[in-house]
């Protein structure tokens, strides 16, 4: 059933009214042709006289408006609702996420490998620092004995204190006449951070003719994990089957 609403300046808005109730109000003089009316489907309020035939309202003579008075107009449509602060915030956040997520993914793809390389270099530097006392012992033995120590040499049987957390084993080459070689074999620590270093080697070669300095460019360890002074190609120091191995 169609429901009507009416609006009169003296009575305000009335409704909902069905057709019969609207006819009764017309008969009682509560509404007339100038009364504004509205029902579902209409774009706005219109004078009731425009619907007299549709509603079956009896004809009624309506006096013309007084001079200087304007015909009633339809109330203005309500302004559109504004977005709330939460809705605006949600829209801004969604747009920001749309652009930031790919950018953050690219940054992570570049920064994570660089950080991992930095951690590997720090662990290699730590291993070189830990083995420093062993290098001093090798130099002293060379100066005193004129030969390189090996696992059978007194004082060199236990190399555990020089391994550190990053090294799985240390090998001494005591068979060469012109140089001594210490080889570090890296392992994977318990936290799993240095999985890329596992099995890689770093050779330290004593250079007696160069005031007992050490060279550290040998071994299989990639240059990107080495300190700057240990880069520049691997030494031509072939592996020796007589290496003394000290591994867990």
pLDDT in tens, 52-63: 777 777 765 555
**In CATH, what is the architecture of 111-230?**
2-Layer Sandwich (3.30)
Whether this prediction's pTM lies above 0.85 is answered by no
Question: What is the structure's pLDDT at 173?
Answer: 85
E-state strands within the chain: 4-8, 12-17, 36-39, 46-47, 167-173, 181-186, 201-207, 213-218, 244-247
Question: How many degrees, rounded to 5, is the angle at CA 236 between CA 230 and CA 240?
Answer: 110
Domain ranges of the chain: 4-51, 111-230
Residue 215, φ and ψ in degrees, nearest 5: -110, 140
| Residue 180 near residue 235, CB atoms below 8 Å | no
- Summarize the confidence of residues 70-90 as an average pLDDT: 71
Residue 238 has pLDDT above 80, yes or no: no
The number of beta carbons lying within 10 Å of the beta carbon of residue 86 is 8
**Band of the pLDDT at 192, cuts 50, 70, 90?**
low
Question: What is the structure's pLDDT at 60?
Answer: 58
Question: What is the structure's pLDDT at 236?
Answer: 38
Lowest-confidence segment of 3-12, 123-132, 184-193 by average pLDDT: 184-193
Residue 37 has pLDDT above 80, yes or no: yes
**Band of the pLDDT at 34, cuts 50, 70, 90?**
confident
Question: What is the structure's pLDDT at 210?
Answer: 66
Mean of the per-residue pLDDT values for the chain?
78
Question: What is the structure's pLDDT at 75?
Answer: 65
Give the residues across from 247 on adjacent strands: 169
């Amino acid at each position: 059933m169609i429901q009507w609403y009416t609006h009169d300046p003296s009575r305000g808005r009335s409704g909902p009214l069905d057709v019969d109730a609207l006819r009764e109000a017309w008969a009682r003089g509560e509404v007339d042709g100038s009364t504004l009316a509205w029902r579902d489907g209409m774009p706005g309020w219109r004078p009731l006289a425009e619907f007299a035939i549709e509603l079956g309202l009896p004809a009624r003579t309506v006096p013309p408006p007084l001079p200087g008075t304007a015909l009633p107009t339809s109330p203005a449509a309500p302004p559109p609702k504004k977005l709330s602060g939460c809705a605006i915030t949600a829209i801004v956040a969604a747009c920001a996420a749309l652009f930031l997520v790919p950018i953050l993914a690219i940054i992570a793809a570049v920064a994570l490998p660089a950080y991992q390389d930095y951690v590997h270099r720090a662990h290699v530097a730590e291993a070189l620092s830990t083995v420093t006392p062993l290098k001093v012992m090798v130099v002293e033995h060379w100066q005193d004995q004129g030969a390189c120590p090996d696992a059978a040499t007194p004082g060199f049987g236990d190399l555990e204190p020089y391994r550190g957390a990053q090294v799985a084993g240390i090998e001494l080459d005591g068979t060469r006449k012109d140089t001594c070689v210490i080889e570090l074999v890296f392992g994977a620590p318990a936290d799993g951070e240095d999985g890329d270093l596992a099995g890689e080697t770093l050779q330290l070669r004593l250079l007696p003719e160069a005031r007992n300095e050490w060279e550290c460019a040998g071994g299989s360890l990639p240059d990107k994990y080495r300190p700057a002074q240990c880069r520049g190609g691997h030494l031509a120091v072939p592996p020796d089957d007589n290496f003394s191995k000290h591994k867990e």
